[in-house]
Structure 1
Amino acid sequence: MARLWGKGRFSSWDLRTLDYLKSLGVDYLWLTGIPRHATGMDFVKGDPGSPYAVSDWTDVNPYLADRPEERMKEFSLLVRRVHRKGMKLVIDYVPNHVARDYRGGIVHHDWCDGDWTDTLKNDWSSPQTFGEMLRILRFWKALGVDGFRCDMVELVPAEAMRRLIAAVKEDYPDTMFIAEVYDRGNYRKYVEEVGFDLLYDKSGFYDRLVSLSRGECSARELSWNWQFLSDLQPRMLNFLENHDEIRIASRQGLGSAGRSYAALGVSLLFNDASFMLYFGQEAGEDASESSDGRTSIFNWCCPRSVEHLNCATHIGKGLSDGESAVLDRYRELLGLAKLPVFASGKCWDLCYCNLSSPGFDADRHFVFLRYDGSQTYLVACNFSDKPASFRVAIPRELSPVCPEPSVQMTIGAWDTAVARLR
């Protein structure tokens, strides 16, 4: 969210900011609101307008530049800074619709989907639309953009997206395509047939982790979701927050960042899916300025924790004690997730063999083993408001990577405990 960091300019994403992100383990930086969108019109949502109502696909928003007349140059300099720090840049691609004042070659209807009244539905039956979309993606690739988070792709013909991805990757094979997909029954189709690199796992782990953290479902559902995903897990994108969802620490969410540490442990450490960190989440942003627990993408604002993070990044102070504690916990778990054993090692769900273990609650506790050729870690997550202590039984077939038949684990309420066994 370029306009919500620092002074809301490309230049705010300076080397210190990028160093901070790199220190968290960030590999890809996704900035929403880069392509020029409708603003200052009577149909736009909020003050600046929605970043998903794009009016010009070959321009950037002038308000993001220190010198609007040099905005494309300033964007190119940002791309260079990101690459200089060893990260890659992702922007939004919106194939389903354009702004009502769109200027360009995409053919569109005169109606919109649902209540997206600031947009018009694209007409993918026209060959001109496909040709223009391919030109647009190549335009951004030529500027150095590394990937695209593709909005609401289930509303677009899958065959058109397949052809589009294949055409871009023919010229730029390393391009990352991330799909916003909600129907779990479509996951395999969009990976294996359409060609996306990563998919949101909103309807899988996200929904279950949030429900579990609210006491609304059983931890057993995490095992079921893991089994459902099977070999698709490396192609998933796990998250606890994004621009559509309620802030996890908000009063409408879980009420505090600390109550999300069990969910964070599962999201980061259980499988080898990628993880998306939403800005300010790592400092416990609670969206206290909003009425619905979300950070608005339709208005000018600077969330409190994000402002504090920006100050801490540039002058070395600004975070409250509570924000610092949350950031420290995130750094700890994010650091573990970067280890090869968690990034690409094998996983063994241990819940099934601990159903009768004293103190273990299969509905509130979740335990698993991660291991590779050199390391073994035991992870236990407690989705309960009470501390837990129990011995985790290790099946005999895992003795080559964990010779102990059982391991004692003690976990705080709503927390994750990690033990290195080898």
Structure 2
Amino acid sequence: MKQTIKLLVLAALVGISAQSVNAQSKKDKKVSEKVQKKVVYQVFTRLFGNTNQNNKPWGTKEENGVGKFADFTEVALDEIKKLGVTHIWYTGVPHHALVGDYTKYGISNDDPDVVKGRAGSPYAVKDYYNVNPDLAVDPANRLAEFEALIDRTHKAGLKLLIDIVPNHVARRYEGKSNPPGVRDFGADDDTSVEYARDNNFYYIPNSSFKVPYSPDYKPLGGDPAPGSDGYFDEVPAKWTGNGSRLAQPDINDWYETVKINYGIRPDGSKDFPELPAGYDAKDYKAHFEFWKDKSVPSSWIKFRDIALYWIAKGVDGFRYDMAEMVPYEFWSFMNSSIKMKNPDAFLLAEVYNPNEYRNYIKLGKMDYLYDKVDLYDKLKEVIQGKSLPDPVTDIQNRFQDIEHHLLHFLDNHDEQRLASDAFAGTPEKGMPLMVLSATISSSPTMIYFGQEVGERGDLDSGFGKPTRTTIFDYAGVPSHQRWMNSGRFDGGALSDSEKKLRDFYKRLLNFTLEADAMTGTFVELQTENRKQGEQYKPGLYSFARYSAKQKLLIVTNFSWVSEADFTLEVPEALIKTWKFKDGSYPLKEKLYGNHTSTLEVKNGKGFVKLKLAPSESVILEVQK
């Protein structure tokens, strides 16, 4: 497919013959038929079903409420499915450190001095073989309640992902639910040395951990709590999750976690076998065979076994936190093992270094990586008036060989809400971003719960700042709660504008699942149209997507103040590729059907008269 896109771009730029493009497109046909567009709906599990609207900063779960697995009813899951979703990512499921007393269930209390917020960080997992007790109606039965959710999710026609956080675990990891023969992280470590290959942690010998200090921060906002005394017993001290080697990490470090050792020596060298040359072209079966007879670090085996435990329970895949902080050789070992059990497993990694993308896809056997540093960041600049949309073309061209693997999103638990003042400012201004993000490639699209009704993330919940929905404290999510409508999940309490916004998301996401061209070829139209000058306003971006069955022209108006009245030009090379003769071709608008337009082909070049309102987008299908 990469050669097809490259040739089409060249054809659009310089008008070369489309014959070679057609030849390559035929070769791509078999590939595109195997590719399916996917839509991931991320939910922060403890927030999703919470109907409590108290929202006291640093409030307890009794004061502010907490969502449960049981809140994902058949009705809720059915409505999520109807939104145009194929996968749900249940964020924050594995048992992580939190401030709460579950000792009667055999769970030790966590120290508030090394817990972020009151409800705790999902990145600080303390038991990988069980789930967060907050999420269960009966904490003693929490694993069975999650297993029931797995079953309900599948019955709704959806697949599900959970988190694995491979780079670090909670400061005090305690596996209370380990299967027979499974030893806790660190249980067999030699703590007298900084590093040993089969140690699970890195140590700072002859030192004691000291809780970070800041005059501007107090655990739980200063509320008294058992164990909140500025002291945490850890001797010897361990490296902190983000790699800090200080016994007293900085308050901005990931001090609630400790870093996992994957056989990377303190000097950065590798203490494990490396993949031979050529393995970037081999499939997961070959990678699995390579590792079968190799001795690998203890941490590799522990995380592989954790993943296979959840796969056996019916989990359909994982989102890997900060995957680039772990060597891709481990991912080859881990992911090939998963794929041998479930070839269709959905493996998504948080990676922010574009120079490493291909290593994690081709050598690490990841299915998908975040497309944050490029497309997300550029679209944020565009809507804030800091950039024209033109560089989007360069992004698509640079990653054309791996475009299917770069998951697109505009909102998630780590980022500022799309509708917040720090991003688009209003949900309507985010709509053209969403159209482009969801339709420009064959990659999966992800949305974050509440995004589809314009959640702004402007609550002060305790730890962390507004503009993103809290992941550390107990809270309700106001816009989402109005859609939830006291458990009816019918949007009955939404405002008219929120209903209109959700309808937009529903139309767009379902279109991407149904449209054959979404798994076809991308051709940028921007270069040719920018030559028009002022008629083609700087806030416009246009491109084509096509397959053998469907041909689309997609235009977005990123301006939220200016109407765009112009004629879209379709380059001669693309018209030749489509084998269109001079004449008129009706166009059907696929989102709302509110544009009546025609593709006029004259002297081998296409023209479409359009008028777009501020923040409006059109998806035009050629009727032939």
Q: Same fold (TM over 0.5)?
A: yes
Aligned to 2:134: 63
User: What do residues 276-317 of structure 1 show as CA deviations (whole Å, max 9, x unaligned)?
Assistant: 010000000011214430101001111101111111871641
Query: For structure 1, which segment, 280-289 or 303-312, has the greater mean C-alpha deviation from structure 2 after superposition?
Result: 303-312
Distance across 2 between alignment mates of 1:326 and 1:249: 11
Match of residue 374, structure 1, among 545, 549, 553: 549
Match of residue 31, structure 1, among 90, 95, 112: 90
- The reply to whether residue 417 of structure 1 matches residue 612 of structure 2 is no
**After the TM superposition, which residues 195-210 of structure 1 pair with which residues of structure 2 at under 5 Å, given as runs?**
195-210=365-380
Cα 1:312–1:59 change in 2 (3 A) is closer
**After the TM superposition, which residues 17-416 of structure 1 pair with which residues of structure 2 at under 5 Å, given as runs?**
17-40=76-99, 41-42=111-112, 43-104=114-175, 105-106=184-185, 107-109=200-202, 110-112=238-240, 113=242, 115-125=253-263, 127-290=297-460, 291-311=465-485, 314=488, 316=490, 317-357=492-532, 359-361=534-536, 363-384=538-559, 385-399=561-575, 400=578, 404=600, 405-416=606-617
- The structure with higher relative contact order (CA 8 Å, sep 6+) is 2
User: What do residues 99-139 of structure 1 show as CA deviations (whole Å, max 9, x unaligned)?
Assistant: 01102432223121251110000111272211111111111
Contact 2:458 2:466 (8 Å CA) reproduced: no
Query: For structure 1, which segment, 378-387 or 273-282, has the greater mean C-alpha deviation from structure 2 after superposition?
Result: 378-387
Structure 1 position 414, deviation (Å): 2.2
Query: For structure 1, which segment, 353-362 or 171-180, has the greater mean C-alpha deviation from structure 2 after superposition?
Result: 353-362
**Match for 1:215: what amino acid?**
G
SS of match in other structure, 2:488: helix
Query: For structure 1, which segment, 395-404 or 9-18, has the greater mean C-alpha deviation from structure 2 after superposition?
Result: 395-404
**Match for 2:169: what amino acid?**
V
Distance across 2 between alignment mates of 1:86 and 1:388: 41
Cα 1:401–1:72 change in 2 (3 A) is farther
Distance across 2 between alignment mates of 1:312 and 1:204: 39
Match of residue 5, structure 1, among 34, 48, 62: 48
| Structure 1 residue runs without a partner (length 5+) | none
Structure 1 position 393, deviation (Å): 1.0
Structure 1 position 401, deviation (Å): 5.9
Contact 1:357 1:393 (8 Å CA) reproduced: no
Contact 1:252 1:292 (8 Å CA) reproduced: no
Distance across 2 between alignment mates of 1:359 and 1:409: 15
Contact 1:233 1:273 (8 Å CA) reproduced: yes
**Match for 2:562: what amino acid?**
K
Query: For structure 1, which segment, 165-174 or 2-11, has the greater mean C-alpha deviation from structure 2 after superposition?
Result: 165-174
Structure 1 position 395, deviation (Å): 1.7
Distance across 1 between alignment mates of 2:136 and 2:254: 27
Bigger Rg, structure 1 or 2: 2
Distance across 1 between alignment mates of 2:495 and 2:259: 45
Contact 1:346 1:371 (8 Å CA) reproduced: yes
SS of match in other structure, 1:144: coil
User: What do residues 212-231 of structure 1 show as CA deviations (whole Å, max 9, x unaligned)?
Assistant: 11111121110010001112
SS of match in other structure, 2:333: helix
Contact 2:517 2:551 (8 Å CA) reproduced: no
Q: CA RMSD in A?
A: 1.6
**Match for 2:88: what amino acid?**
L
**Match for 2:481: what amino acid?**
E
**Match for 2:549: what amino acid?**
S
SS of match in other structure, 2:408: strand
**Match for 1:303: what amino acid?**
V
Cα 1:78–1:402 change in 2 (3 A) is farther
Contact 1:358 1:391 (8 Å CA) reproduced: no
Distance across 2 between alignment mates of 1:339 and 1:39: 42
Contact 1:258 1:326 (8 Å CA) reproduced: yes
Q: Percent identity between the aligned chains?
A: 34
Cα 1:421–1:68 change in 2 (3 A) is same
**Match for 1:331: what amino acid?**
K
**Equivalent residue pairs, number:** 422
Contact 1:358 1:390 (8 Å CA) reproduced: no
| Structure 2 residue runs without a partner (length 5+) | 1-43, 51-66, 100-110, 176-183, 186-199, 203-237, 245-252, 264-295, 582-599, 601-605
Contact 1:79 1:89 (8 Å CA) reproduced: yes
**Match for 2:362: what amino acid?**
E
Contact 2:71 2:487 (8 Å CA) reproduced: no
